Chain A
Amino acid sequence: MMNRQGRPTAAGDTSAQAHPTFTGNYGLEIEEPLLFEIGRAETTGVDLPAPKKVKSRLGKLARDGAIGLVGLSEPETLRHYVRLSQKNFGIDTGLFSLGSCTMKHNPRLNEKMARLPGLGDIHPLQPQSTVQGALELIDTLAHYLKELTGMAAVAMSPKAGAHGELCGMMAIKAALEASGQGHRKIVLVPESAHGTNPATAALIGFEVKPVPAQADGTVHVADVKAALTSDVAAIMLTNPNTCGIFEKEIVEIAAAIHKAGAYFYCDGANFNAIVGKARPGDLGVDAMHINLHKTFSTPHGGGGPGAGPVVLSERLAAFVPYPFVHADKAYVLVEEATKIVKGEKPFGRMTAFHGQMGMFVRALAYMLSHGSDGMKQASEDAVLNANYIRASLADLMSLPFGDQPCMHEALFDDTWLKDTGVTTLDFAKAMIDEGYHPMTMYFPLVVHGAMLIEPTESESKASLDLFIATLRDLAMSATKGEVDRFKGAPYHAPRRRLDETRAARNPVLRWTPPAPYAEAAE
């Protein structure tokens, strides 16, 4: 074992079981009960004044009886959530190698800006004269997004990536209907796509038809042409794709799609690889959602909230849904048909208000901080870091599409684990023991036992070197047949491997007071 300075560190006695404790806690590893096991109905951590004496207007609908909630005092609340937090791995904990998710650094300046009262404490339905700065911010961010993508318009309101996909595909559907092409029902989706792509298309009545990827991991224009008929509405293509490879025939694919009277939807999940380097608008894309939480550093927050604005080409610009901003003498938020100008044909509304403003603030703060030069450098560093990992592991771990450069993420398959008794899942769990968040496993589906590693630009070379050394050690261990290191992993996490089958077979989705015979049902 080597520490970061290259000095040997002896492995201590890590067998906690050898010294069991009374509490079940081990030092800083503290077991935390469920809120409902420690809270009390009468306890509150909030002091509120007594309500004024008034005549109730609740009528017969006043609640009687208990809700069943419990409360904690303020100190107990802090302790409960701090202890829970300590069971979580975050970007600030260590390298978070989840491919496709882009776990880049979340600057705290962004958090500070989002909490300025003038940006955070404003209501979506205040008089527009009192939120001119907010509308200017949305308009400014829209300008940045259009400039970076080379697109004509942007729909700001979608709440997440998949919601952005839905918005983009709705715009395509609206455009087809407006031009008498409503009969086009087929959407081409490569097998390597995120599951959201086919799900989105199906949700609004399209029929999904798969397109194969070739041996180099990309979609070839010939296969697209072979699938094109007069019933094709669109193709949904991720670029760079989910194998971490830039679709080199993208311009030809776009031309073929357009020639057939269809639209080109690009899944922008991996836009972070090409910001400031190449523009989707120059490649023939008609619609693309942008994950502000991947590309522009807004925090992932344990699974949301995301934000998924959609950039649109000239062909789709008219269909941006409500609300959107007109910048004139003053900023005007267009929320209904009485305010649209000639040529605007909004297809409807995606969400109650104006989108993820809190994320807009953070994304803009990130863009201003980096600037055009920094954003370009970030893309280059993200690609450089991924290739460094690929090149440093290629002799031990198998690459499904040969030894070619990748973009922002490196994809390995499990060919190299054949006959070792170790699976991709086992390998990932052993990474947890080494202090890393595992890569994305078993995705994309086109690769057997996929391992998709995305370091992002936020990792230093020293961090990558240690990560690479660790993966090399694990890889050699697996191929040497040290199966125990993997099969039982993780050994050193707050929990050992969890039984997901049991969770699905007998769903327990909420706390219920324990019944004395609950065990007997097992």
Chain B
Amino acid sequence: MRYLPLTSDDRTDMLAKIGVASVDDLFANVPKGKLMKGLADLPTTKGEIEVERIMGALAAKNVPASAGPFFVGAGAYKHHVPASVDHLIQRSEFLTSYTPYQPEIAQGTLQYLFEFQTQVALLTGMEVANASMYDGSTGAAEAVLMAHRVTRRNKAILAGNLHPHYRDVIETLSRMASDTTVALPANAVDAGADLKAVAAAIDAETSCVVIQTPDVFGNLHDLKAIAEKAQAAGALLIAVVTEVVSLGSLTSPGAMGADIVVAEGQSIGVGLNFGGPYVGLFAAKSKYVRQMPGRLCGETVDAEGRRGFVLTLSTREQHIRREKATSNICTNSGLMCLAFTIHMTLLGEAGLKRLAAVNHANACDLADRLDGVKGVEVLNKSFFNEFTIRVAGDAAKIVEKMAKKGVLAGVPASRLWPTDKAEKDLIIVANTEVNTDEDRAAFVAALQASI
């Protein structure tokens, strides 16, 4: 077995040194009759060639995003990742290291976490950011718990145009923790009504309001007024961003008064991966830092006075506080942070702004092409790189038909709101820098042929 260095002679010598006759003597604590007699009922060892053949066959049954015109978004986006990013994250010292428990030999990890935290704080317009969460949705659920700790209340109001899966994750954790959630109904047609409903729902028990911008249908929201209203009622505003590239073009949630910002960072450096691993960005006002979940990297000095970095404020965390911890989380998304921060370093301020502008322009171009197509209506007054169209017919069937023509057209809203009849004719369509004029022409042609 190529991964196992011990030889049978080694094993014999080692058993002798330990002073037992067989390896099963070392398993003596396993209750009688519970040690497996034979092998598990699974195939036996395979060489690289065979494994590649098996995995290749599974891969061949999927249509990769790069195979044709691709417009699927709604929380995960097809962006280009520079070759250097994937090369660097595969360096042994990054890939095969662990949580920096021994900071003297983990300065590489710690320094990039510190740089990552700085980038995230700047992007979101917040004072502090942590070293990442599993993903945006789990980050959002943790943000709600954090707001409950800060306000000592336990009722969260979720905007109707929050991604339904994010809503489900928050509701699941809240229900299990005996907290209250008020989830408002989605409104694809009148995005302004979404925020009005949130404002109307705020009361003296409200701990936080959770609002996504750009929202799940792609609409942009000015959060200033709702932030003021929430804070006047003693509640926090949690802003959710599922498309982090939008922050290159849009006023940051921090500048609009958000108390906590949670974002999915997948768009920068990470890739699609069928939903994971991703990287959750989590930023807040610094006065709440001791209530934050997750890891934090901080600056210090070593015994010779040289600058260095360590994980810090860990008295919030489970390995110290156990049942009194701010969260049960015991990891971050280290390698995905690294992918994010390398890609962001390559982009820089100028590159990110350019990337965001290209995304927006491409989406505008598709919206313009759809303007006047019979049986299609673009619902959004504002959007970044994603908008929602109403089509004459069953959206899921139309998306399926378009897939047969080689165009992956977007997410039918019925996939996210399966029980809601009102959404049956909507498709959420994303455009990024990878889409060309030809892709958009193919989209329009395939759509017209499928209605």
The answer to whether A and B belong to the same complex is yes
Closest 4 pairs (CB-CB, A-B): A71-B348, A353-B275, A118-B59, A133-B61
Given contacts A51-B357, A496-B302, contact A504 B31 (CB under 8 A): no
Say whether A52 contacts B362, CB under 8 Å. Answer: yes
Asked if B250 lies at the interface with its beta carbon under 8 angstroms from chain A, I say: yes
| With A68-B122, A381-B6: A504-B1 Cβ-Cβ less than 8 Å | no
Report whether B303 and A488 are in contact in the complex, using a CB–CB cutoff of 8 Å. yes
CB contact between A507 and one of B312, B337, B345 (< 8 Å): that residue = B312
Q: A133-B60, A248-B31 are in contact. List 15 more A-B contacts (CB 8 A).
A: A44-B347, A45-B351, A48-B351, A58-B220, A124-B275, A125-B72, A195-B318, A198-B318, A277-B35, A303-B99, A352-B135, A355-B275, A374-B3, A375-B40, A376-B36
Pick the contact of A46 from B13, B100, B112, B355 — CB < 8 Å?
Answer: B355
| A373 to B384 alpha-carbon distance, docked (Å) | 53
- A53–B360 Cα distance when bound, in Å, is 10
Interface residues of B in 298-344 (CB under 8 A from A): 298-304, 306, 308-310, 312-315, 317-325, 327-338, 342, 344
Q: CA of A44 to CA of B355 in the docked complex: distance in angstroms?
A: 11
**B34 contacts A278, CB within 8 Å?**
yes
Please determine whether B327 and A203 come into contact, CB atoms closer than 8 angstroms: yes
Number of B interface residues in the complex (CB < 8 A): 215
Contact of A437 among B31, B92, B102, B381 (CB under 8 A): B102
Taking CB as reference atom, which chain B residue is nearest A193?
Answer: B322
- Beyond A119-B59, A384-B14, A503-B300, whether A44 also contacts B348 by CB under 8 A is yes
User: Considering residues B11, B72, B345, which has the most beta carbons from chain A within 10 angstroms of its beta carbon?
Assistant: B345
Q: Once the chains bind, are B274 and A67 in contact (CB under 8 Å)? A: no
* In the complex, chain A residues 320-353 whose Cβ is within 8 Å of any chain B Cβ: 321-322, 335-338, 347-353
- Considering the complex, give the chain B residue whose CB is closest to the CB of A291: B331
Cβ-based interface call for A260 (8 A): no
User: Could you pull out 12 A-B pairs where Cβ atoms are within 8 angstroms?
Assistant: A42-B349, A45-B351, A58-B249, A87-B108, A121-B272, A170-B172, A195-B321, A198-B323, A357-B274, A361-B55, A372-B44, A384-B11
A91 in contact (CB, < 8 A): yes
CA distance A170 to B171 in the complex (A): 13
Given contact pairs A44-B350, A133-B58, A195-B322, A60 touches B82 in the complex (Cβ within 8 A): no
Q: Mark A192-226, 1 if CB is under 8 A from B, else 0.
A: 00111011111111001000000000100000000
Interface status of B104 (Cβ within 8 A of chain A): yes
Contact between A125 and B40, CB atoms less than 8 A apart: no
A45 and B364 in contact, given A162-B329, A509-B297 (Cβ under 8 angstroms): no
A205 with B176, Cβ < 8 A, contacts A69-B352, A116-B55, A302-B334 known: yes
Report if A122-B350 is in contact (Cβ < 8 Å); known contacts: A61-B250, A378-B4.
no
List chain B residues, Cβ under 8 A from A508. 298-300
- Most A CB contacts (10 A, CB to CB) among B3, B27, B175, B400 go to B3
In the complex, what distance in Å separates the CA atom of A364 from the CA atom of B348?
37
CB distance from B165 to the nearest CB of A (A): 4
Chain A positions 392-451 with a Cβ under 8 Å from a chain B Cβ? 392, 405, 407, 428-429, 432, 437-438, 440, 443
Of B113-121, B198-206, B442-450, the stretch lying at the interface with chain A is B113-121
Would B76 and A353 count as touching, CB distance under 8 A?
A: yes
Closest chain-B Cβ to A395's Cβ sits at a distance in Å of 12
Query: Which of A119, A405, A495 is within 8 Å of B104, CB to CB?
Result: A495
Please tell me which stretch of A1-9, A104-112, A310-318 contacts chain B, meaning at least 4 of its Cβ atoms lie within 8 angstroms of it: A104-112
Query: Given A369-B48, A457-B4, A161–B351 Cβ distance below 8 Å?
Result: no
Decide: B93 and A196 in contact? CB cutoff 8 A. Answer: no
A498 touches B103 (CB 8 A): yes
Alpha-carbon distance between A457 and B6 when the two chains are bound, in angstroms = 8
Interface residue? A70 (CB, 8 A): yes
- Bound: A172/B130 CA distance, A: 31
Which residues of A have CB within 8 Å of B320?
Answer: 195
CB distance from B156 to the nearest CB of A (A): 15
Tell whether, in the assembled complex, residue B176 and residue A199 are in contact, meaning their CB atoms are under 8 Å apart. no
| CB of B287, distance to nearest CB on chain A (Å) | 12
The residue from A49, A130, A387, A407 contacting B62, defined by CB atoms under 8 A apart: A130
Given contacts A121-B272, A159-B138, A166-B328, contact A78 B65 (CB under 8 A): no
> Bound complex: CA of A423 vs CA of B318, how far in Å?
24
Chain A contacts for B13, CB-based, 8 A: 461
A:434-482 near B, CB below 8 Å: 437-438, 440, 443, 457-461, 463
